[in-house]
Structure 1
Amino acid sequence: MDVAATRSDRSRLPMWAAGVLALVCGAIVAFSGWSEWESRNAELHNAETDLGNLARSLTQHVEDSFELADSLLRGVVAALETDDGKPGVATRLQTILKSRKANLGRIRGVFAYDENGDWIATTEDVVLSNYNNADRDYFSHHRTSADRSLLIGNPVRSKAGGQWVITLSRRWNHGDGRFGGVVLATIDVAYFAQFYRQFDVGRHGSISLISRDGVLLADNSEPSSQLLGKPPIEQIPYHPTSGALHFRRPDESSDRLGFYQHAQRYPFLMIVARSEADVLAGWQREARVRLSVLVCLVALIIAIGVFLVKQLIKRQQLASALAAKEENFRLIAEGSSDIVTRIELDECIGYVSPSTMRVLGWHPSQLLGKRAISGVHPLDRPQLQEILDQLRNGTADEARATYRMRRRDRSEIWVEATVRATRRPDGTLDGFVAVTRDVTQQKTLQGRLETLAIEDSLTGLANRRRFDERLLEEWGRAYRDKTSLALLMIDIDHFKAFNDAYGHPAGDECLHSVASILADEAQRSADFAARYGGEEFAMLLPNTDAAGCARLGERIRRALHEAGIVHAHNPAGIVTASIGGAVCRPGFERSAGPASLIEAADRALYAAKDGGRDRVVMTAEVIELSSSKAPTTAPA
Structure 2
Amino acid sequence: MSLATQRAGWSYLPLRAAAFVALTCATILGVSGWREWAARDAVLRGAEMEMANVTRSLTQHAEDSLDLLDSGVVGTVSRIEMDGTGPETITKLGNVLEARKKAVPRIHNFAIIDEHGNWLTAPGTTASTLSDDAFFRYHQLSPKREPFVGRPVKSLLEGEWVVTLSRRFNKPDGSFGGVVLATISSRYLARFYEQFEIGRNSSAALVHGDGLIIARNPSNEKFVGHSVADTPLFRDASLQRPSGVYHFKSPLDGAERLSFYKRSSRYPLVMLATLDKEELLAPWRAAAISRMLYVVALVMLIAIIGAVLVRQLQRGQRMAAALVEKEAHFRLLAEGSSDMVTRIGLDERLRYVSPSSIRVVGWRANQLIGTPALAGINPEDLPEVQGIVDAMKRGEREEARLIYRNSHRKNGEVWLESTMRVTRKDNGRVDGVVAISRDITEHKKLETRLETLAIEDSLTGLANRRRFDERLKEEWARAYRDRSSLALLMIDVDHFKAYNDEYGHPAGDACLRLVAKIIAAETQRAGDLAARYGGEEFAMLLPNTDAAGCALVGERIRTAIHEAGLAHSSNLASGCVTVSVGGATCRPALERTAGVASLVEAADRALYAAKDAGRNRLMMSGELMSLMPKASGQ
Using the size of structure 2 for normalisation, the TM-score is: 0.45
Rg (Cα) greater in structure:
2
Q: Which has the higher contact order (CA 8 A, sep 6+)?
A: 1
Using the size of structure 1 for normalisation, the TM-score is: 0.45
